[in-house]
Structure 1
């Protein structure tokens, strides 16, 4: 491992495009007809990945776990993935892969790859303190709203 020289500093966002995730950092209350709970987002040391911790009740079922969000970089790859990717690990033994798109107006989370029939599409409020939308998937879906509790990345 290369030792840092005096005055050399780590870039806050090692890969271009990660800065869009900054608006997620903090704690959020999740509400909807079928879902309730809290999530938090914080940067992993180094700034390459955002960690989400979630504690939710969805249709009466407790769902707790973590999600790691960032660009993937395979063994021996010279550059990271084209799209922001994530993987969830939950208390039911599930692992889910997603593709993220975040901009000033919306948040889209694709189940698997971009263009999937399973996705979340939400719209940011003007001040960025809420994101309201709907999860859509074959045979169902549900509405949810994410409301900022604070901007400090905190564990559940």
Structure 2
């Protein structure tokens, strides 16, 4: 019988609510909302961007093991689907994939009050290769749970 993942998922409560998103130096406003799926077994992330050249996305986040690891299953309006390994501890949110096309890494650091996330996104040019800065992103909480 599978172990109930909900106790391990409780640490994700810091994400729950609505967030405005921005990319410093670019006019790319967006919004992200995190909410629990019914019964709390998964966290759903919905992201929209107010510029048509950038994709809107939905992600499903779930616990993958007893060690506090998670996975994010990402789907966007271009038809792209990806799976990221995820952690959230010590107020640092990380996502990583070393996909067949190119690797990606997201490192988001929460402010002391938990209402701002400063994120650095990186990408590589080939699997297993070095990572380079892609862009930064800021999440600002606009609505709690």
Answer yes or no: same fold by TM over 0.5.
Answer: yes
1:53 equivalent to 2:46? Answer yes
Aligned-pair Cα RMSD in Å: 2.4
Q: Deviations over 1:112-143 (max 9, x none)?
A: 58xx9521112110000001021011155101
**Cα distance in 2, alignment partners of residues 87 and 105 from structure 1:** 21
* Among 79, 82, 86, the residue aligned to 2:72: 86
Q: Which has the larger radius of gyration?
A: 1
SS at match of 1:63: coil
| 8 A contact 1:57–1:63 mirrored in 2 | no
Match of 1:44 in 2: 37
1:142 equivalent to 2:135? Answer yes
Q: Which runs of 4+ in 1 moved over 4 A?
A: none
Match of 2:129 in 1: none
Match of 2:130 in 1: none
**Cα distance in 1, alignment partners of residues 137 and 124 from structure 2:** 17
Cα distance change on mapping 1:44 and 1:136 into 2, 3 Å: same
Q: What stretches of structure 2 of length at least 5 have no aligned partner?
A: 126-132
**Cα distance in 2, alignment partners of residues 91 and 98 from structure 1:** 18
| 8 A contact 1:108–1:120 mirrored in 2 | yes
SS at match of 2:114: coil
TM-score (norm: length of structure 1): 0.73
SS at match of 2:38: coil
TM-score (norm: length of structure 2): 0.78
